[in-house]
Chains A and B, each alone.
Chain A
Amino acid sequence: MRSGWLLPLLALVVMVAAPARAEQGVTDTEILLGGSNSFSGPLAFTGEQITKFGVDLGFKAVNDGGGIHGRKVRTIWYDDGYKPQDAVANTRKLVEQDQVFAVIIPQGAPPVVATLEYLEQNRVPLLFPYQSSTVTRGRHWVFQGMTMSDRSSRMMIDYLVGRRKYRKFAALYQDDEYGKSFLTAFEKDLARHGLRLLAVESVKRGVTDVSAQIAKLHTAKPEVTFLVLVPGPGAQALRERQKIGWTDTLMVSTGPLTDERYLSLAGDAAEGVEGLSLWPDPLTSDLPGVRRYREHMQNYFPRNEPNRYSLAGYFAAMLFAEGATRAGARLTRESLIAALQSVKRWESGILPPLTIGPDHETQKQAVWVRVERGRFKQLTDWLKSE
């Protein structure tokens, strides 16, 4: 144990002596960011990709290009294994011990929500949390990353009912915050069109068999079946449909699910499946930003396959760099918030030009895709959710 009074006294002397209090986590040469994420547990793959191969990839590129106003960005990651209490402990350690400037891209609703109030009380920016429920909306210190479930739902329902004229819907969802928040949004948006979900079925994370759920949904005869799942169970659902020869329904995946892993797991059972895609195709897109992302991945992590998760992390790093650059040489938490809020028609080369308003939502659009010969084929231009 350290001697009780010496440390606070020294700290006081230093604080009084310092000319102007620099912002926590920012020095003349460095900006320190951190996050609690899943490096073990059910979402370990996504967690590792968005952080170490996504955010860190973006910052390696930024740092090698000279940094932000001469400052290099450094990141610290802690594992929470998707446990809320561990996320709280990690986040406190980041803020109090490591003295980070901001928290970036924590994953999953329960861990993020558990730390929300603490971060607000301590005026620490929470940047681009990787979850889609609406709890993070309308908060001064939070900039939402992933497209929120109610916006996704609005785009999906309006497209399917408005343009494609479907009337009968059902949903298979994961029994957690992610699944429930989509279910609520679907019901609300269908009600706007005077429709409702004919059947809903739920599965647990790590489910071994979805045959009963698919059989029940089958009997409801929906024209469209939403899949609000993660890749494993999503692919299982598609395989199960193939097993029972259920062909007269359109399977539609939500934004968080529409990814390459789910395709490769489902194999030929994925043919014809449609979905809302939050990102352009990370492997084949010709957009300049996505090409740059692939080049950087090739340079820094040649052994890591490009995918949507690392692309999302990479985008988050780019957006932070844009905000911090706009905030100027005297970077503070307040100036970062103001700078991000004033981002107008920013060209990432990945998503359409980005304007962030006072609602702090950085993603509001998506494209519609269909699986043709094992790849996602884009069917629409960017759909809007305003």
Chain B
Amino acid sequence: MRLLALAIGAAGLLLWPWAAPRYFVFLASLIVVNAIVAIGLNLLSGYTNQLSFGHAGFLAVGAYTAAIVATRSPGVPVVVALLAAALVTAAVGLLLGVPCLRLEGLYLAMATLAFGFVVVEAILNLDGLTRGNDGLRVPAARLGPWVLATDTARYYLVLAVGAVMVWAAGNLARTRTGRALLALRESEVAAQASGIHVARYKTLAFAISALYTGVAGGLFAFVVGFLSPDAFDVFLSVDFVAMIILGGLGSVPGSVAGAAVLTVLNDSLAGFQNYRPLIFGAILIASMLFMPGGIASAVRRLRTRWAGHPPMAPGSRRGLE
């Protein structure tokens, strides 16, 4: 049953470019990019129960790295550009993660917010590399002999990378690192007592989260085709936070759902012009009022109701699926 659903879903995603108009192929690519960021952010927030308001900064680091690599060495395979984006962003995540270790809750959130602003300033001032305010045009992605210049080609690239990232996130819980992080989430003190190096794993969560967002940034660069510092403001970081909370904290499918819902909503409301933020905001309020815990826990509640189990006790809401 579960396998069948997966197979149908996969077939749908693969056939999408052949069924949907070009614009919706582009939109689907954006959804996948945002979903990767949401998964990355959720790895941090879900495991360490801390929010980051600076993930637009990581996205920018990844996007600019990939774009600069692709511009400076034409013909480089897109995989190399994405790897560079992943590694550079993860390194930046480590650099930020180590000092942020001592910070908790709001203080961490504010430190990451400050980081986001500093990244935008850095992009503006490193204009020899980033072209600053002028913005940076991103060349088409290349993969061996192919130039990924069409929406369909870019979609398959994004989809393939997205699939790997989702798979890895789903399997993280089964690894040693994943189990350590899970223990950390349940209780830091208990984790420490059972011999888990808390500082190391918290930093690692930061780095992995940054890596995910860096990869998404690289894909963002190729999908959108143009980068400028205005794209990565604090409101984008806040959007990412909204995605994971609406989707469900700590849930990989929830992250994907949250990213998809908010991306589609943002896009389809553009025609409402000055009413757009009004409707968007009202939907956010209504969803959290009627669906506390986000999409993931709403689905879980529905499932338990169908299965005839008693509803789950409050407090067990942040389980990782």
Check whether chain A touches chain B (CB < 8 angstroms).
yes
Whether A80 sits at the interface, judged by CB under 8 Å, is yes
**Contact present for B274 and A97 (CB under 8 Å):** no
Contacts of A78 in B (CB 8 A): 270-271, 273
Report the Cα distance A110→B124, complex, angstroms: 13
Report the Cα distance A68→B226, complex, angstroms: 36
**Contact present for A175 and B124 (CB under 8 Å):** yes
Contacts of B276 in A (CB 8 A): 39-40, 79, 81
Q: From residue A89, how far is it (CB to closest CB) to chain B in Å?
A: 6
CB-defined interface of B201-225 with A at 8 Å, one 1/0 digit per residue? Answer: 0000000000000000000100011
Contacts of A36 in B (CB 8 A): 270
Report the Cα distance A110→B227, complex, angstroms: 9
Whether A82 sits at the interface, judged by CB under 8 Å, is yes
Report the Cα distance A77→B269, complex, angstroms: 11
Q: Interface stretch among B11-19, B75-83, B104-112?
A: B11-19
Report the Cα distance A276→B137, complex, angstroms: 32
Q: From residue B318, how far is it (CB to closest CB) to chain A in Å?
A: 31
**Contact present for A114 and B224 (CB under 8 Å):** yes
Q: Is the interface of A mostly helix, strand, loop or mixed?
A: helix
Instruction: Take A39-B276, A79-B273, A83-B231 as given contacts and tell me if A97 and B21 are in contact as well, using a CB distance cutoff of 8 Å.
Output: yes
Report the Cα distance A80→B266, complex, angstroms: 10
Chain A residue nearest in CB terms to B271: A78
Contacts of B231 in A (CB 8 A): 83-85, 110
Q: From residue B291, how far is it (CB to closest CB) to chain A in Å?
A: 25
Q: From residue A315, how far is it (CB to closest CB) to chain B in Å?
A: 22
**Contact present for A89 and B132 (CB under 8 Å):** no
Count chain A residues whose beta carbon lies closer than 8 angstroms to a beta carbon of B: 39
Chain A positions 22-49 with a Cβ under 8 Å from a chain B Cβ: 36, 39-40, 44, 48
Q: From residue B260, how far is it (CB to closest CB) to chain A in Å?
A: 15
Report the Cα distance A170→B276, complex, angstroms: 41
How many contacts between A and B, using CB within 8 angstroms? 105
**Contact present for B230 and A82 (CB under 8 Å):** yes
Instruction: Take A39-B276, A114-B228, A180-B132 as given contacts and tell me if A4 and B271 are in contact as well, using a CB distance cutoff of 8 Å.
Output: no
Report the Cα distance A81→B267, complex, angstroms: 12
**Contact present for B18 and A4 (CB under 8 Å):** yes
Report the Cα distance A275→B111, complex, angstroms: 42
Whether A20 sits at the interface, judged by CB under 8 Å, is no
Chain A residue nearest in CB terms to B133: A177
Whether B179 sits at the interface, judged by CB under 8 Å, is no
Contacts of B16 in A (CB 8 A): 1
Chain A residue nearest in CB terms to B273: A39
Q: From residue B30, how far is it (CB to closest CB) to chain A in Å?
A: 7
Interface size class of B (residues with CB under 8 A): 35 or more
**Contact present for A84 and B274 (CB under 8 Å):** no
Chain B positions 3-48 with a Cβ under 8 Å from a chain A Cβ: 12, 15-16, 18-23, 26-27, 30
Choose one: B15, B266, B269; the contact of A4 (CB below 8 Å): B15
**Contact present for A39 and B274 (CB under 8 Å):** yes
Chain B positions 267-312 with a Cβ under 8 Å from a chain A Cβ: 267, 269-274, 276-277
Contacts of A175 in B (CB 8 A): 124, 133
Q: From residue B252, how far is it (CB to closest CB) to chain A in Å?
A: 24
**Contact present for B135 and A97 (CB under 8 Å):** no
Whether B134 sits at the interface, judged by CB under 8 Å, is yes
Contacts of B271 in A (CB 8 A): 76-79
Choose one: A48, A86, A96, A118; the contact of B270 (CB below 8 Å): A86
CB-defined interface of A86-119 with B at 8 Å, one 1/0 digit per residue? Answer: 1011101100110000000000011001100110
Report the Cα distance A48→B273, complex, angstroms: 9
Report the Cα distance A97→B124, complex, angstroms: 35
Choose one: B18, B236, B266, B273; the contact of A77 (CB below 8 Å): B273
Whether A176 sits at the interface, judged by CB under 8 Å, is yes
**Contact present for B274 and A89 (CB under 8 Å):** no
**Contact present for B270 and A79 (CB under 8 Å):** yes
Whether A243 sits at the interface, judged by CB under 8 Å, is no
**Contact present for A84 and B226 (CB under 8 Å):** yes
**Contact present for A93 and B20 (CB under 8 Å):** no
Whether A303 sits at the interface, judged by CB under 8 Å, is no
Q: From residue B233, how far is it (CB to closest CB) to chain A in Å?
A: 8
Contacts of B124 in A (CB 8 A): 175
Whether A135 sits at the interface, judged by CB under 8 Å, is yes
| Interface-centre pick from A118, A135, A177 (highest chain B CB count, 10 A) | A177
Whether A2 sits at the interface, judged by CB under 8 Å, is yes
Report the Cα distance A118→B154, complex, angstroms: 15
Choose one: A4, A84, A180; the contact of B224 (CB below 8 Å): A84
Instruction: Take A79-B270, A83-B230, A85-B231 as given contacts and tell me if A135 and B134 are in contact as well, using a CB distance cutoff of 8 Å.
Output: yes
Report the Cα distance A186→B186, complex, angstroms: 60
Instruction: Take A2-B19, A4-B19, A39-B273 as given contacts and tell me if A92 and B224 are in contact as well, using a CB distance cutoff of 8 Å.
Output: no
Contacts of A4 in B (CB 8 A): 15, 18-19
CB-defined interface of B251-262 with A at 8 Å, one 1/0 digit per residue? Answer: 000000000000
Contacts of A176 in B (CB 8 A): 133, 230
Contacts of B12 in A (CB 8 A): 1
Q: From residue B234, how far is it (CB to closest CB) to chain A in Å?
A: 11
Instruction: Take A1-B12, A1-B20 as given contacts and tell me if A44 and B270 are in contact as well, using a CB distance cutoff of 8 Å.
Output: no
Chain A residue nearest in CB terms to B23: A96
**Contact present for B274 and A114 (CB under 8 Å):** no
Contacts of B266 in A (CB 8 A): 86
Instruction: Take A1-B12, A39-B276, A89-B27 as given contacts and tell me if A80 and B270 are in contact as well, using a CB distance cutoff of 8 Å.
Output: yes
Q: Can you give 6 A-B contacts (C-beta < 8 A)?
A: A44-B274, A80-B270, A85-B224, A88-B224, A113-B228, A175-B133
Report the 8 A-B pairs with minimum CB-CB distance, sorted nearest first: A78-B270, A39-B273, A114-B226, A96-B23, A177-B133, A39-B274, A110-B230, A110-B228
